[in-house]
Structures are given as C-alpha cells and as structure tokens.
Structure 1
Amino acid sequence: MSLSLNTNISSLQTQQALSTSQSALQKSLQRLSTGMRVNSAQDDAAAYASASSLTTTLNAQTQGIQNANGANSYLQTADSYLGQVENNLQRMRQLAVEANNGGLSAADQTNLDKEYQQLATANKNIETNANYNGNKLFDGSVASTTFQYGQNAATDVATVTNVDMSAYGTLAGTSVTSVANATAAQAAIDTDLTSLKAARASLGAQQSGLASTINTLTSNNTALSAAKSTLVDTDYASETSNMTRQNILQQAGTAMLAQANSAPNSILNLLKG
C-alpha cells in the first residue's frame, strides 16, 4: 500500500461513505417522522406521480360524498315539511267529512271551518317559506337542484327534483262552511293528497339512490386510500431496520475516518526511521 502526504485517499473515501450514510440516515428519519416513504418526487418519481393522481381523485370523491350527504339532507328536510303538509291535509279531510253533515248548525260549520282554515294557512306558509339554506323548496321557483358527487361536473351529478306545491287546490279558496263546500273540499284534498304521496315517493326513491351513491363513493375511497398508502406510506418495520443500519454505518464511518486521518502519521514515523 502506497503512502501519500498530500492526498489521503482513505480519508476522502471514508468521508464520502460517511456523507452517504448520513444522507440515508436523514432520509430514514424523515420517513419515520412523517410516515411517508415518498415525501417528494425526488424520492420516487413514479410513485409520487401516481399518488398525486390518486390524491386528486380522493379529494374530489371526498367532497362528492359531502355533497351527496348535503343532497340527502336536502331531501330529508323537504320530506319532513311534506310530512307536516300531509298531516294537515289528513286533518282537513277529517274536518270536511265532519262538516258534510246537514244536521250541523251554521255555528258548528263555522267552528269547523276555523280549524280548517288554520291548517290551510299552515300549508300555505310551508309552500311559501319552506327552504333549505335559503333555497325555496315548494313555491315552484326552482324546478330542480344539482349536487356534484364526482370528478366530472357534467356526468357525476345528482339532480334533485323539487316539489311544486303552488298548484295545490287546498292552499286557498276552499272551506267547510256548508255541506256543498265540504264536499268540494274533500275532492280538492284528495287530489292534493294524491300529488303529495307521489312527491314523497319520489323523494324517497331519490334518497335511496343517493344512499347507494354514497356507499359506492365510500368504498372507492377506501380502495384508493389503500392504493395510495402502498405507494407512499412508510413501512415502519423495514424503515426502522434501515435506520438502525445507517446508524451503525455512521458510527463505523466516524471511527474509520479517525483511523484514516491518522494515516499520515505513519509517514512521519517512517521518516524518523
């Protein structure tokens, strides 16, 4: 083995090895502290690109699930209001049947009509004022409401059909102040109840469809999250072993650097003879 005073090859080689192990140790510590095997494109360009694409899809679908849940809340709110309307109509029909009695006095008819009109007014208030976050539900001003649940704004959408109560015949103009009026009121109520039942059935079908959509999106997100984890997440068992190895290399490299740096002393000893 040759000895050189100007260039300590062993020291330079050891420094390079020490720098390499130090860099590897820092990378290992980063992976362990962040839980991410891939923290930048430099770590694994292909995995980083794939994970970035998965993240885009995951973010869109996560927001889509929130939107679908919002649509479901919208439908639940609408159905709750319609449940009140139906209860009112059922009571109004009961009053109309009761008023369809020629043996009642005018005062009796008037008293029945007072409750009837209160219920009709309550339904009118729902038709006029019921809303979801300021969006009117039943006054006919908005035919449908759209909620995006996926990445594609053109195709991944749920369109909720709103119920138009403005044409309901019992909202105004009917009464039970006489047998004739009570008979007419029953017919109007039956028509509105038929429309209402169809509307609530439609809302229920839309809720069922949204529930299926939410389940599908949730399952997809679980699968995508697992795929992303495989690409970029830290394997702690493997990385802990790697960190231990790099620590040992650091300690060994430090010791060997001390030995390499002392090599020129051999030249001095040689000169001393």
Structure 2
Amino acid sequence: MGAGETLITAKDDTANFSISQRLRAQIESSQRAVKNAQDGITLMQEADGGIQSIVDNLQKARSLAIYSASDAITDSDRATVNKEFQMYIDEINRQSQATNYNGKQLIDGTGEQSLKFHVGANEADSISFNLPTVTADSLGVTGTSVATREDAENALSIFDTAVLRLGVTRSDIGAFVNRLENAEGYTQIQNNNNSAANSKIKDIDIAEGSIAMAKEKIQYEAASVALSKSSSGNSAAAALLQLGI
C-alpha cells in the first residue's frame, strides 16, 4: 500500500474510479476557469484605467474651455490656450491606442471589443461584456476649439456629454468586474468541494490501512506456522519408517 490510495486503476473499483475521473476533470476545468476570471478582472481594470486617463484629459481640456470662454483674456491668449487644448485631445487618442492587455487593443476600436469570459467548469458558464470605442472621434471632441469665446462655449457642452458618457461606461465596467470576482469565488468553492470529494473517494484512512496490513501479516504468519508444522511432521514420519518402527 503506497500513499494510501485505494484507486490505482479502473479494475480496483470501476464505479468509484469513474466518479473520481469525472471529479478530476471538473477540478482541472475549475482551476482554468478561476484563472480565466482573474485574467478577465485584470483586462477590465486595464480598460478602466485607460478610460480614467481619458476622463482626466477631458476634464483638463474642459477647464481650458472655461478659461477661454471668459472675455477677461485676449484673442492672443486664446490662441495660446487653444494649443494646449489641442494637445489634450491628441492625448486622448494616444491613451486610447496605448490601452491594451496581452497585445489586445481594448478601446481604440481596432480590436475585438465583444468580450467573453469562461468562468466555470461547465459549457454554459460564461459571461460577456462589450467594451466601447473611446477616442476623440467617438466622444465627439475632434475638431473642437477654444480659439474664440463662442468655440469655447460650444466645447463645454460637448465635453460635459463626453465625461458623463464615460462615467456610465466606468460604472458598467465596475459592475462587470464584480461579476467576475463573484464567479471566481464561486468557482473556487466548487473546486475545493470537488477536491474534497475526490480525496474521500481515493484516500483511505491510515488506521484502516494499518489494520488491513496487520491482518494480512497475521494470516501470512499463521500459514507459515502451519506449513512448518506440516513439514516437521512429515520429516518425523520418514525417520520412523527408516528405523523400521
């Protein structure tokens, strides 16, 4: 008896062996599914971080629009402010392109944005999320300007809409991350339960194993004693015959 396992091959106990094999398949699948959920969480957090950076740039550009909408500055001042304003719009596109996970573009519209994560051991255990395209074009801020007071006033409403839209997007991402975390926790519990069940099937109690070994030893020793006595008796009979008794 090696490591205390009762199941070595199917011939030992066909029914329990079959159950154990199914449990092992579930355990391995669950372990992969937990990793899938963890990877999904990381991916979604990467997307959220990129969007947050874009929101930061939108807010900085909006503050310049407020500044330029005031008649307290000159047209020359507005021209200088507009250069900085355009830099923030360019940064939105740069950040969009830089947001990726494992080489997969997430929010610039060039990658697969309909995402599916298999987070359980069974075929139906998957959840999906559609990442939006987040670029200056998609947000409607391309072509905006603060070179004049009128342009700055128009830009304000456009940027307000963009910030609100991304606020909703980030809330959706946060809710989906919660789903992934819940799926990860549930699948891990299933995995632990399956592992415990498999151990009960495969592993025998050490005490029972020791008793079984002791019983086998006693039986072996008893058989040896009986054989020894039988051999001694046969030898004595042969000697008597030789003496003519």
TM over 0.5: yes
1:82 counterpart residue number? 51
Counterparts of 1:261 and 1:111, CA distance in 2 = 116
Identity among equivalent pairs (%): 26
Would the alpha carbon gap of residues 257 and 176 (structure 1) be closer, same or farther in structure 2, given more than 3 Å must change? farther
The CA deviation at 1:36 is: 2.0
1:168 counterpart residue number? 139
Pairing of 1:219-234 with structure 2 (within 5 A): 219-234=189-204
The CA deviation at 1:104 is: 0.8
The CA deviation at 1:107 is: 3.4
Give the counterpart of 1:128 among 97, 102, 110: 97
Counterparts of 1:95 and 1:76, CA distance in 2 = 29
Higher RCO (CA < 8 A, seq sep 6+) = 1
2:29 counterpart residue number? 60
Would the alpha carbon gap of residues 107 and 245 (structure 1) be closer, same or farther in structure 2, given more than 3 Å must change? farther
Counterparts of 2:173 and 2:105, CA distance in 1 = 16
2:192 alignment partner AA? T
1:182 alignment partner AA? A
CA RMSD of superposed structures (Å): 2.0
Pairing of 1:144-223 with structure 2 (within 5 A): 144-153=114-123, 155-166=124-135, 167-170=138-141, 172-223=142-193
Would the alpha carbon gap of residues 113 and 252 (structure 1) be closer, same or farther in structure 2, given more than 3 Å must change? farther
1:93-131 deviations in Å (ceiling 9; x for gaps): 111111111121233223322332222111101223321
1:49 counterpart residue number? 18
Contact 2:66/2:156, CA 8 A, preserved across alignment: yes
Unmatched tracts of structure 1, length 5 or more: 1-28
The CA deviation at 1:159 is: 1.0
1:242 alignment partner AA? A
Counterparts of 2:156 and 2:102, CA distance in 1 = 35
Unmatched tracts of structure 2, length 5 or more: none
1:168 alignment partner AA? L
2:109 counterpart residue number? 140
Contact 2:50/2:96, CA 8 A, preserved across alignment: no
Bigger drift between 54-63 and 232-241 goes to 232-241
Describe the SS at the equivalent of 2:6: coil
Please tell me whether residue 244 in structure 1 is matched to residue 214 in structure 2: yes
Counterparts of 1:76 and 1:250, CA distance in 2 = 66
Describe the SS at the equivalent of 1:36: coil
1:206 alignment partner AA? F
TM-score, normalised on structure 1? 0.80
Q: How many residues align?
A: 240
1:168-218 deviations in Å (ceiling 9; x for gaps): 112x31222221221122122111112101110110111111112112111
